[in-house]
């Protein structure tokens, strides 16, 4: 991943010096830790690829997990969900290679792709589309929600057929054993660990448990999602909510320093989900999260 990103940097004609950041605007490495962003952070409801590219440039983001809706509509996917399976199984991969080129020309690497077509209700053709698109984008991983064992076995079979690595994401089902069946099913399967969801999921998911989980499973973690959520409430899990970083219970600082101190090679991705403060916007808040990472990794 790093060699590809270095090439992208050298081949890009974009000048980032104009960005008003108090540290290197290219977040590829802070004291040895790779920092990236999930494009959901910018515009979860906007599906214009050019807006996402501009958001990356404005925030100084050079490595992304690209959400499917941030390219599919731009490439012509119909609004009607009934038409999505047919579109996905027939779209040309030349279009996705062109997407890769457009991001690359702006100095942006796509390390993961996450389209919304990996559930048990999606056809094999849609799942194979996702894998072909991941390869056309030059991404290292296709990310997907952790669902049923049966669906995981299906995805594993197709991942081995297409030689694609899958990073599985968990929400409130996160536990120290939640990924075991996926890891046992195929060498193509990896963990996309959301540390905020982990802390919010259950009372036994403590800071110490999270750090131990990362230490134990680091070789199978493809990426982390960084967010700050409150710890699980025994009587009301729904009360847990996303917080401005440093205000919740998720040990972001300790996790980042653990990655740094152990020279782990997986990327840590900003996923902005807290309420945007009055007078700010998503790009500024992504930069604020980067500043938090910078301070954590330089202390």
21 in any annotated domain: no
DSSP string computed for 110-135: EEEEE-S--STTS-HHHHHHHHHHHH
19 in any annotated domain: no
Does residue 22 surpass a pLDDT of 60? no
56 in any annotated domain: yes
Residue 232 contacts residue 201 (beta carbons within 8 Å) = yes
DSSP string computed for 43-62: -TT---HHHHHHHHHHHT--
| pLDDT for the residue 235 | 62
**CATH assignment at residue 264:** 3.20.20.150
State the burial class of residue 254 (Cβ atoms within 10 Å of its Cβ: 0-12, 13-18, 19+).
Answer: middle
Total domains in the chain come to 1
Write out pLDDT tens, residues 56-82: 999 999 999 999 999 999 999 999 999
E-assigned strands of the chain? Answer: 35-38, 63-67, 109-114, 141-145, 166-169, 189-194, 221-226, 228-229, 242-243, 267-270
22 in any annotated domain: no
Residue 139 contacts residue 112 (beta carbons within 8 Å) = yes
149 in any annotated domain: yes
Question: Considering the entire predicted model, what is its pTM?
Answer: 0.91
CA 124 to chain centre: 23
State the burial class of residue 208 (Cβ atoms within 10 Å of its Cβ: 0-12, 13-18, 19+).
Answer: exposed
CA 201 to chain centre: 19
Does residue 10 surpass a pLDDT of 80? no
Two structure tokens written together for 196: 């905020």
Write out pLDDT tens, residues 123-175: 999 999 999 999 999 999 999 999 999 999 999 999 999 999 999 999 999 99
Average pLDDT, the chain: 91
Give me the percent of the chain exceeding a pLDDT of 90.
85
What is the biggest distance separating any 2 CA atoms in the chain, rounded to whole angstroms? 54
20 in any annotated domain: no
pLDDT grade, residue 43 (50/70/90)?
confident
User: Could you tell me whether strands 109-114 and 141-145 are parallel, antiparallel, or unpaired per DSSP bridges?
Assistant: parallel
pLDDT grade, residue 46 (50/70/90)?
confident
DSSP string computed for 203-241: TT--HHHHHHHHHHHGGGEEEEEE-EEPPPPTT-GGG--
CA distance 183 to 203: 24
291 in any annotated domain: yes
Write out pLDDT tens, residues 190-232: 999 999 999 999 999 999 999 999 999 999 999 999 999 999 8
CA distance 297 to 299: 6
176 in any annotated domain: yes
Two structure tokens written together for 247: 């205000």
Domain that residue 281 falls in: 2-10+31-297
């Amino acid at each position: 991943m790093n060699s590809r990103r270095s090439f992208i940097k050298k081949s890009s004609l974009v000048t980032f010096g104009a960005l008003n950041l108090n540290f290197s605007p290219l977040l590829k490495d802070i004291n040895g830790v790779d920092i990236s962003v999930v494009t959901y952070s910018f515009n979860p409801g906007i599906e214009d690829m050019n807006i996402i590219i501009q958001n990356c440039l404005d925030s100084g983001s050079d490595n992304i997990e690209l959400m499917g809706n941030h390219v599919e509509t731009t490439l012509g996917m119909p609004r009607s969900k009934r038409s999505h399976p047919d579109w996905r199984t027939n779209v040309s991969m030349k279009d996705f290679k062109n997407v890769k080129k457009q991001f690359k020309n702006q100095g942006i690497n796509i390390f993961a792709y996450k389209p919304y077509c990996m559930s048990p209700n999606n056809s094999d053709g849609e799942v194979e589309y996702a894998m072909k698109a991941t390869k056309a984008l030059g991404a290292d991983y296709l990310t997907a929600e952790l669902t049923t064992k049966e669906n995981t076995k299906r995805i594993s079979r197709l991942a081995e057929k297409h030689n694609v690595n899958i990073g599985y994401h968990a929400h409130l089902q996160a536990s120290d054993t939640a990924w075991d069946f996926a890891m046992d099913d195929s060498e193509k399967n990896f963990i996309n660990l959301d540390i905020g969801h982990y802390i919010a999921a259950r009372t036994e998911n403590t800071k110490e448990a999270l750090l131990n989980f990362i230490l134990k499973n680091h070789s199978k973690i493809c990426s982390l999602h960084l967010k700050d959520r409150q710890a699980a409430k025994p009587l009301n899990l729904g009360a847990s909510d996303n917080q401005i970083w440093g205000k919740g219970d998720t040990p972001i600082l300790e996790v980042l320093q653990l990655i740094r101190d152990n020279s782990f090679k997986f990327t840590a991705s900003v996923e902005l989900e807290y309420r945007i403060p009055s007078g700010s916007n998503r790009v500024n808040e992504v930069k604020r999260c980067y500043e938090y990472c910078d301070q954590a990794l330089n202390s």
